[in-house]
Every structure is written in structure tokens, then in C-alpha cells.
């Protein structure tokens, strides 16, 4: 979808697979509302900046909430996938749609076949704290060639602390992969939904901010 315009003011650019920026330019809407208003002490410009930030946060907050609900996972790991950078009437929102660890769905339960997380069963997997301090659902990379579970793409250097005794006792069982769930399809659908509502919401917020800043009806 690189370079495809989904509306007059939103472009999605993939920097790498499943990752990209939402570039939002609200300049046209800003001009239509603020044209002719006296920018005393920069009050209009400040109101525009506040409205832009609030509109971006509105999109992020609601997108995270709906993605979590539809995927059946916690909101916390999704919050890390959104980074907002706002400048005047332009906003850049980084969005990461790579897989998320299956352990975020619910409390993993080990069984004879593998690991069950919520309603999902991952045969051949095991639940263990191997890297870092958080338990995850892992599977041997070699074994996953048969099961073909989705995995989280990551680099070991991100986890400087690991279970030495476990790895020593299980030589020959590495490398392991973190089993993940795909969020791309749901994420793009939800983001598109709020993209279509963004202009209207931005105008509402901007008019409120101008009214507060200038004490006039807009």
C-alpha cells in the first residue's frame, strides 16, 4: 500500500513490512475554519496546535481500544505500537503492525500437547521465562517448521538477561521463537475506520479550542 492515499489528507507509508507512518495533514481544514480570525498573541496558532494533538490522540486512543477488543488482547502492548509526533497542523503517527506475543491474549496454560492461551491451542509450544523477566509462549524453531505458528520477529540482544540453567539443560533445543498473533488485518481496518472520522472530529475540537482561546463563536 506504499504511497496510496486513503483520503485527501492521510497517506500510509511502509518503511518495512507491516510498519509505517500515518502522515496527517489537516491544513485545509484549519484554513477553512481560521481564515479571517485575528491571531492575537499567537492564540489561533496555539489553538490549532492543541487541536491537532488532541485529534491525533483521539485517533490513537480509540484505535487501540477497538483493536484490543476485536483481537481479544490487552491494550498495554498495543500502546507501545503508536508514537505521535505533531507539528502545527501536521501529525506523524508511527504504527507498528508486526505480530504481538500470544501471551498477551490471556494467561497461558501448559498441557500435554503444548500451550493453550485463551481459546487458542499452540501445539508443540512451551510457556517459560527464557529471555527477560516475562514468561512467553515459545516453540523450537526447528519444530515450528511443522506446526507453522506465527512468530514475533525480534532480536536476542533486546533480552540481555536469560535463564542460563534452562538453556544449559536444554542444549540442542535452541533457537526458540516467540509465538505471536497477527494484528495487521484488524489494525488496518480499525485505523481506516477512524481515518474516515478524523476530519469531522478535528473540526469539532478546533472550534472548541478557538472558542476557548478567543472567546468568540466560530
Find the mean pLDDT for residues 153-181. 62
Point out the least confidently predicted range of 3-17, 18-32, 35-49: 3-17
Q: Give tens-digit pLDDT for 63-84.
A: 999 999 999 998 999 998 888 8
| CB-neighbour burial class of residue 56 (10 A; exposed 0-12, middle 13-18, buried 19+) | buried
Residue 137 pLDDT exceeds 50: yes
Model confidence band, residue 95 (pLDDT cutoffs 50, 70, 90): confident
d(CA 123, CA 115): 6
- Alpha helix (H) ranges present in the chain? 27-34, 43-71, 76-79, 144-147, 164-169, 184-214
Written as nine digits, the cell of 15 is: 518503511
Predicted structure pTM score: 0.76
Closest residue by Cα to residue 60 from 40, 78, 46, 33: 78
CA 63/CA 57 separation, integer angstroms: 10
Tell me: pLDDT of 217 over 50: no
Phi-psi region of 215 (alpha: psi -120 to 50; beta: other; left: phi over 0): left
Burial of 43 (0-12, 13-18, 19+ CB in 10 A): middle
Answer whether residue 164 shows pLDDT above 70: no
Report how far residue 85's alpha carbon sits from residue 57's, in angstroms, rounded to the nearest whole number.
Answer: 10
Amino acid at each position: 500500500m506504499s504511497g496510496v492515499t486513503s483520503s485527501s489528507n492521510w497517506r500510509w507509508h511502509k518503511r518495512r513490512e507491516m510498519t509505517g507512518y500515518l502522515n496527517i495533514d489537516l491544513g485545509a481544514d484549519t484554513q477553512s475554519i481560521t481564515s479571517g480570525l485575528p491571531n492575537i498573541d499567537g492564540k489561533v496558532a496555539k489553538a490549532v496546535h492543541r487541536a491537532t494533538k488532541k485529534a491525533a490522540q483521539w485517533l490513537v486512543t480509540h484505535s487501540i481500544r477497538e483493536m484490543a477488543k476485536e483481537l481479544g488482547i490487552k491494550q498495554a502492548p498495543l500502546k507501545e505500537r503508536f508514537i505521535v509526533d505533531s507539528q502545527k497542523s501536521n501529525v506523524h503517527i508511527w504504527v507498528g503492525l508486526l505480530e504481538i506475543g500470544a501471551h498477551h491474549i490471556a494467561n497461558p496454560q501448559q498441557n500435554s500437547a503444548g500451550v493453550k492461551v485463551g481459546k487458542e491451542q499452540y501445539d508443540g509450544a512451551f510457556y517459560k521465562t527464557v529471555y527477560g523477566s516475562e514468561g512467553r509462549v515459545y516453540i523450537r524453531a526447528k519444530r515450528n517448521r511443522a506446526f507453522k505458528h506465527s512468530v514475533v520477529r525480534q532480536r536476542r540482544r533486546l533480552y540481555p538477561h536469560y535463564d542460563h540453567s534452562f538453556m544449559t539443560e536444554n542444549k540442542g533445543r535452541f533457537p526458540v521463537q516467540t509465538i505471536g498473533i497477527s494484528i495487521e488485518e484488524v489494525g488496518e481496518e480499525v485505523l481506516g475506520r477512524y481515518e474516515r472520522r478524523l476530519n469531522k472530529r478535528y473540526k469539532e475540537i478546533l472550534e472548541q479550542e478557538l472558542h476557548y482561546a478567543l472567546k468568540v463563536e466560530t
